[in-house]
Amino acid sequence: AQTVTQSQPEMSVQEAETVTLSCTYDTSESNYYLFWYKQPPSRQMILVIRQEAYKQQNATENRFSVNFQKAAKSFSLKISDSQLGDTAMYFCAFMKSYGGSQGNLIFGKGTKLSVKP
Amino acid sequence: DAGITQSPRHKVTETGTPVTLRCHQTENHRYMYWYRQDPGHGLRLIHYSYGVKDTDKGEVSDGYSVSRSKTEDFLLTLESATSSQTSVYFCAISEPSSPLHFGNGTRLTVT
């Protein structure tokens, strides 16, 4: 069974600074996807970034980038130039890329990020 | 919101009553899911569907049933609600090997 661990329940960062959120996972699969979702106080779940395990290049989306270390089973999210609107819960998630359970996201328990002015 | 509507947005019900939550999509995506979100647990999969009339259980399916008679609708039913089912319920949709897109959630309180 796959598990996803986010070891930082809460973090804070000053506006305009950089912060890194940690995520580790455990799987015996070789083909899978990893995601970061953001949940602001509005409760909406918003996809931040996606990484395919077969790609060595780390994914980036504007101020958001990941450090994907497949051998270490680590998938951290870096937020550059933090903005007040980045305040949210951030969830790391794992998904197998084939088979009957394709599309079943396994979530970590989340990291609550507060961006301070 | 990727064309996903959950109804109702909020519901308060009494222990032992049946409850049905509805998820409607306009994206014609193949997969639909029901998750519940609880403090300290993140999101956990209840049931999912990979086509009309094709459903399967997730991690926390006890006490829940689902139905999908049309591509666009996925219903979650609590046959006899219990206080442990107080939660926020999210519907999600996806195509194969694509990210899940979530609805805005339904907050259910069982008193």
A18 touches chain B (CB under 8 A): no
**Cα angle B22-B26-B30, degrees, rounded to a multiple of 5:** 85
Looking at residues A21-45, what average pLDDT do you find? 93
Q: What is the pLDDT of residues A83-98, one digit of tens each?
A: 999 999 999 999 887 6
Average pLDDT, rounded, for chain B: 94
Query: Cα-atom radius of gyration of chain A, to the nearest Å?
Result: 14
User: Do B48 and A103 count as a contact with CB atoms less than 8 A apart?
Assistant: yes
**Cα angle A39-B4-B20, degrees, rounded to a multiple of 5:** 95
Among residues B98, B52, B43, B41, the alpha carbon closest in space to that of B75 is found at B52
B1 touches chain A (CB under 8 A): yes
Could you say which of B88, B99, B105 has the minimum Cβ distance to residue A35?
B99
Q: What is the pLDDT of residues A16-29, one digit of tens each?
A: 999 999 999 999 98
| pLDDT at res. A81 | 97
User: Do B43 and A102 count as a contact with CB atoms less than 8 A apart?
Assistant: no
The residues, any chain, with a CB within 8 Å of residue B12's CB and separated by 6 or more, are B108, B109, B111
Mark the ranges of chain B whose per-residue pLDDT is less than 70. 1-2
Quote the percentage of chain B above a pLDDT of 70: 98
Confidence of residue A101 (pLDDT cuts 50, 70, 90): low
